[in-house]
Amino acid sequence: MLTQPEIVERLRKWGVRVTPQRLAIAEAVLNSTDHPTVQQIHERVRDHFPSMTLATIYSTLGVLERSGLIQELPFEKMSRYEANMEPHVNLVCIQCENVMDADVGQDVVVRLKNRISSQAGFEVAWQRVDFYGWCPRCASAKRQEQTAPV
Amino acid sequence: MLTQPEIVERLRKWGVRVTPQRLAIAEAVLNSTDHPTVQQIHERVRDHFPSMTLATIYSTLGVLERSGLIQELPFEKMSRYEANMEPHVNLVCIQCENVMDADVGQDVVVRLKNRISSQAGFEVAWQRVDFYGWCPRCASAKRQEQTAPV
DNA sequence: TTTACTGCAAAGGGTTTGCATGAGG
DNA sequence: CCTCATGCAAACCCTTTGCAGTAAA
């Protein structure tokens, strides 16, 4: 989670202009942990910028990605945007469709990255590690239903 | 890599009809290691089925995915299709855009999966592990260029 | 003042859908 | 035979692009 001055500095370093819209979009993504979609980001900045269109959001997300601040995560229907650039695991619930960062396994991802670099001769730039399944809440709901079906 | 009778059996088990088109598409994906796109699959079956359209391929890929034979891998511009359903690492070259399975790291992915299940309370169904960077060929070309620029 | 960004509208392109014909079981 | 798959075309929708007005530096 970056502070506003840090965001400004990172953007200026890339020679792009820092506008209020860009700051709002950057904060909406960087202060999130739910890997928002473009639509969700739009909802979150609409109060402050009612006239902002999706084109501006797409454009800004491209700037943020090229600045190394965020990562695009393409899914079947649309992309989500990742604010956590450290090696980690994403948990994608196929029931409620929420996406969250796992709070375990970061060390294993780093070890995997080192193994790929040293043994596969592949120069790693970044990675995406997604586990799909049932989040704790949906998993227990599923077990309840299996025990006592309608 | 599955044999044709195995593919037939897996499809019949799902109550779907086995047509020559579906077999051709299934073999084109399952006997591949390059994670083909829909366009590439189209090219590979066009010789035998000149009139086949993309709609048929999309439909069949959906059947194969729901049968657990393949996995869709959404990328920025389009999806690719994965024939290796075992836990493993995908290497995505950001230079030549090839996607290949890593021949190391499977054990680490399995260990990661176990850790996620036991410590994050997340019931894993499947996973996608992608490392982005430069494949051995493109990495050495990059180093050459850095050493002796034009 | 200069350059680049915003907002609006239209286009682009991968994917899905509807329907008539044709084939699988 | 009945049901479902194929092939064709059109629709869908996320994303990109072009352009005129506007704001950052």
Q: How many CB atoms lie within 10 A of CB A115?
A: 16
- What pLDDT sits at residue A94? 96
Q: How many CB atoms lie within 10 A of CB A12?
A: 12
Residue that the structure tokens 């079956």 belong to: B45
Residues of A in contact with B131 (CB under 8 A): 113, 116, 122, 124, 127
Q: What is the DSSP letter of B27?
A: H
| A51 CA: nearest nucleotide by C1' | C7
Rounded to the nearest 10 degrees, the angle between the axes of helix A4-13 and helix A20-30 is 120
User: What distance in Å separates residue A87's CA from the closest CA in chain B?
Assistant: 11
**Cβ B79 to strand D below 7 Å:** no
> Domain A89-147: what homologous superfamily?
Ferric-uptake regulator, C-terminal dimerisarion domain (3.30.1490.190)
What burial class does residue A89 get, using C-beta atoms within 10 Å of its C-beta: 0-12 exposed, 13-18 middle, 19+ buried?
buried
- What pLDDT sits at residue B2? 81
**Is the pLDDT at B99 greater than 90, yes or no?**
yes
Sequence-distant (≥ 6) Cβ neighbours of residue B106 within 8 angstroms: B86, B87, B88, B89
Chain B residues within 8 angstroms (CB to CB) of chain A? 72, 74-76, 79, 89, 91, 94, 102-105, 108-109, 111-113, 115-116, 119-136, 139, 142
> What type of residue sits at position B100?
M
Element (H, E) at B146: helix B136-147
Sign of the CA dihedral running B59, B64, B68, B70: negative
Q: How far is CA A97 from the centre of its chain?
A: 14
Q: How confident is the model at residue B22 (pLDDT cuts 50, 70, 90)?
A: very high
- What pLDDT sits at residue A64? 97
Determine the Cα–Cα distance for residues A40 and A36; give it in Å rounded to an integer.
6
The DSSP bridge pattern shows strands B79-82 and B71-74 to be antiparallel
Among residues A132, A51, A125, the alpha carbon closest in space to that of A98 is found at A132
**Is the pLDDT at B150 greater than 70, yes or no?**
no
Tell me the average pLDDT across B73-79.
Answer: 98
The chain B residue lying nearest A124, using CA atoms, is B133
Sign of the CA dihedral running B7, B9, B14, B20: positive
Look at residue A12 and give its three-state secondary structure.
helix
Q: What integer best gives the mean pLDDT of chain B?
A: 95
Residues of A in contact with B89 (CB under 8 A): 112, 116
pLDDT tens digits, A90-130: 999 999 999 999 999 999 999 999 999 999 999 999 999 99
- What pLDDT sits at residue B149? 67
Residues of B in contact with A115 (CB under 8 A): 104-105, 108
User: What distance in Å separates residue B141's CA from the closest CA in chain A?
Assistant: 12
Q: How confident is the model at residue B108 (pLDDT cuts 50, 70, 90)?
A: very high
**Same fold? B4-82, B89-147:** no
pTM, full prediction: 0.95
**Cβ A66 to strand D below 7 Å:** no
Determine the Cα–Cα distance for residues A53 and A41; give it in Å rounded to an integer.
11
Spell out the domain ranges in chain B.
4-82, 89-147
- What pLDDT sits at residue B38? 98
Tell me the average pLDDT across B26-41.
Answer: 97
CA distances for B42 relative to B46, B54, B83, B94, angstroms = 6, 7, 16, 24
pLDDT tens digits, B41-50: 999 999 999 9
Residues in chain A where the model's pLDDT stays below 50: none
Specify the CATH number for B4-82; select among 3.30.720.210, 3.30.2290.10, 1.10.10.10, 1.10.3210.10: 1.10.10.10
